A and B are shown apart, each in its own frame.
Chain A
């Protein structure tokens, strides 16, 4: 289902078109902790519970037991420069219950990236340490250049 109209064929139009519905779902990390058999999605505002169930079941073959939806209020911000207050769009959240023997864990996508940043930080702290050492060593001879030593 979709809210878009399939364009009526007019003479001269291309005969075959790819028709994409405006329904989308995005897997998100749940707010707070959640039972292992419950998965949270953000989805397009037009989707109903039945749409969500069909979307997951028919396209991805996910056995869906129950769908609860909730519309979260968008965030309020102060517009930078203008000073007045603006609001983000509302978000529709779908809370999907899987059969109780199933488990879903939100994937850790940035596992490798985490290791890299850790290494970088390590190198940085070591460099800082050696520089601090150098300063401590030479704190009593502030005017002497670094190459002037035994």
Chain B
């Protein structure tokens, strides 16, 4: 380093100052090898380059340490949120089963008896159902007949759902809580996993993933038509972000996951078929909405009981469906609800284990889903084998998820004079078998893609970083409306400025005139909060804005 002639006066200074911009000459002379070593030959076409870019992004997300940062990373490309296809748990349009199966990559098996895994617990469930039968009957009778309910639906909810469906959901919620209480009380001293499990009421379940192989919407097709080199790719499939939102009435979760229903190697079995559905979701009746993708399995990251055992869902929405849909489609609607709810919950659990829609799970997860209105009970057992189905993998990924489900089973025929008539013990037995299905610790590593020390944001030592990430994460997943209005092209601008250039002489200031698409803005493209001068560190600090800790993806 040249030290402005000072080094002549202080000759020793030269030894003290390190030479930052210089390197040691290569000591090893042997730069030739016996066989020539070439760098790998890469495909330099545009598609291959873009594919490598995407793969690099997926690798970066995989390498992030904490769960929350991964979730922020999934949302990094969009400041105003993804244009998600909204799969609500209780909104099932006509003929939705092929779409739901494709979007959740689930093979559905209709069953009358529970799968083989449940065979061991059959005998003990029999005795327990004998013990609690009278209690369950009494609870059902009291909840249906014995309580004078004064049900007034709130204005907000009644605008979306009919009063009949709200009422049915309200009663079934009471019955579910009672039956869960009875079974829990009976089982606590018989099996060890019941006491250690947690019960949640009205949990918040949200899941976000990308589905590939969907035909491009008109906007993308029109964009591709503009350029000659894209003309042969106009119909190429695109990625669509999907968001599931559901509220189970009751969920049970535990520290350890359930045992797989079928061995993990079976996931690639070609007999499990999923119909391909590449039409636009709008053609079925699922619409899109701008929002940040969220993965929430009913608790925040860091909770110890992070594996679901079972969840109860209401079926009031069936009453709101049109009569013309018919009973057969109503049955399919229940299957759709079960597939969405099971996949959504397991996917968000998998996200808390460090997997995302870009990094596939390394072990299967299992959940049990019950859809009921108190009288009719449909039981589903779902095994999650894969969560990667984005556009690069949708046809090359051989794995499928699998769902075993029953038709609605009648728990009782009717209630007469405060007594339950025609009680079906088989249904209660199957329900108890769901409870007796014990979770088990797995021998493999559960969180291969999370850090060793830092697994959630709460583990981060740096106070500023931890607090910033925590509040940013919570703010992101709250999906509250933006403080400022979302940019908009007014109709008059569309007519007089975009379609017809009648105002070409005016100054070009609006985003569409500058060639900016505001919806492509990245999450970190904003000014961080300003630090007023009085608050800056003493004596002098040039730092005007606070630090942000967005994950670097």
Which residues of A from 13 to 48 have beta carbons under 8 Å from B? 31-35, 37-38
* Contact indicator per residue, chain A 68-109, by CB within 8 Å of chain B (1) or not (0): 100000001010000001000000000001011000000000
Give complex CA distance A26, B16 in Å: 89
The answer, among A38, A64, A76, for a CB contact under 8 Å with B283, is A38
The reply to whether A85 and B500 form a contact with Cβ atoms under 8 Å apart is yes
Give complex CA distance A129, B310 in Å: 76
Contacts known (A34-B283, A85-B502); A76 close to B495, Cβ less than 8 A: yes
Q: Answer whether residue B118 sits at the interface, using C-beta atoms and an 8 A cutoff.
A: no
The reply to whether A37 and B279 form a contact with Cβ atoms under 8 Å apart is no
The reply to whether A66 and B500 form a contact with Cβ atoms under 8 Å apart is no
Q: Answer whether residue B291 sits at the interface, using C-beta atoms and an 8 A cutoff.
A: no
Which A residues touch B496, using CB under 8 A? Answer: 85
Which A residues touch B218, using CB under 8 A? Answer: 31-32
Closest to B218 in A: A32
Give complex CA distance A97, B280 in Å: 15
Which B residues touch A37, using CB under 8 A? Answer: 95
Give complex CA distance A85, B500 in Å: 8
Give complex CA distance A64, B325 in Å: 9
Which residues of B from 431 to 452 have beta carbons under 8 Å from A? none
The reply to whether B95 and A76 form a contact with Cβ atoms under 8 Å apart is no
Give complex CA distance A26, B326 in Å: 28
Q: Answer whether residue A135 sits at the interface, using C-beta atoms and an 8 A cutoff.
A: no
Give complex CA distance A66, B280 in Å: 18
The reply to whether B285 and A85 form a contact with Cβ atoms under 8 Å apart is no
The reply to whether B285 and A68 form a contact with Cβ atoms under 8 Å apart is yes
Q: How far is the CB of B234 from chain A (nearest CB, A)?
A: 11
Which residues of B from 234 to 285 have beta carbons under 8 Å from A? 279-280, 283-285
The reply to whether B500 and A97 form a contact with Cβ atoms under 8 Å apart is no
Q: How far is the CB of B489 from chain A (nearest CB, A)?
A: 14
Which B residues touch A31, using CB under 8 A? Answer: 218
The reply to whether A85 and B215 form a contact with Cβ atoms under 8 Å apart is no
Which A residues touch B540, using CB under 8 A? Answer: none
* Contact indicator per residue, chain B 323-340, by CB within 8 Å of chain A (1) or not (0): 011100100000000000
Which A residues touch B329, using CB under 8 A? Answer: 100
Q: Answer whether residue A62 sits at the interface, using C-beta atoms and an 8 A cutoff.
A: no
Q: Answer whether residue B94 sits at the interface, using C-beta atoms and an 8 A cutoff.
A: yes
The reply to whether A97 and B279 form a contact with Cβ atoms under 8 Å apart is no
* Contact indicator per residue, chain B 277-312, by CB within 8 Å of chain A (1) or not (0): 001100111000000000000000000000000000
Q: Answer whether residue B499 sits at the interface, using C-beta atoms and an 8 A cutoff.
A: yes
Q: Answer whether residue A56 sits at the interface, using C-beta atoms and an 8 A cutoff.
A: no
The reply to whether B284 and A65 form a contact with Cβ atoms under 8 Å apart is no
Give complex CA distance A64, B94 in Å: 12
Contacts known (A33-B279, A97-B95); A66 close to B322, Cβ less than 8 A: yes
Give complex CA distance A49, B500 in Å: 35
The reply to whether A35 and B499 form a contact with Cβ atoms under 8 Å apart is no
Which A residues touch B93, using CB under 8 A? Answer: 66
* Contact indicator per residue, chain A 50-67, by CB within 8 Å of chain B (1) or not (0): 000000000000001110
19 intermolecular pairs with C-beta atoms under 8 Å apart: A31-B218, A32-B215, A33-B215, A34-B283, A35-B279, A35-B283, A35-B284, A65-B322, A65-B324, A66-B93, A66-B94, A68-B285, A76-B495, A85-B495, A85-B500, A97-B94, A99-B326, A100-B94, A100-B95
Top 8 nearest A-B pairs (CB, nearest first) are A100-B95, A65-B324, A35-B283, A66-B94, A76-B499, A34-B283, A65-B94, A85-B500
**B residues neighboring A (CB under 8 Å):** 93-95, 215, 218, 221, 279-280, 283-285, 322, 324-326, 329, 495-496, 499-500, 502
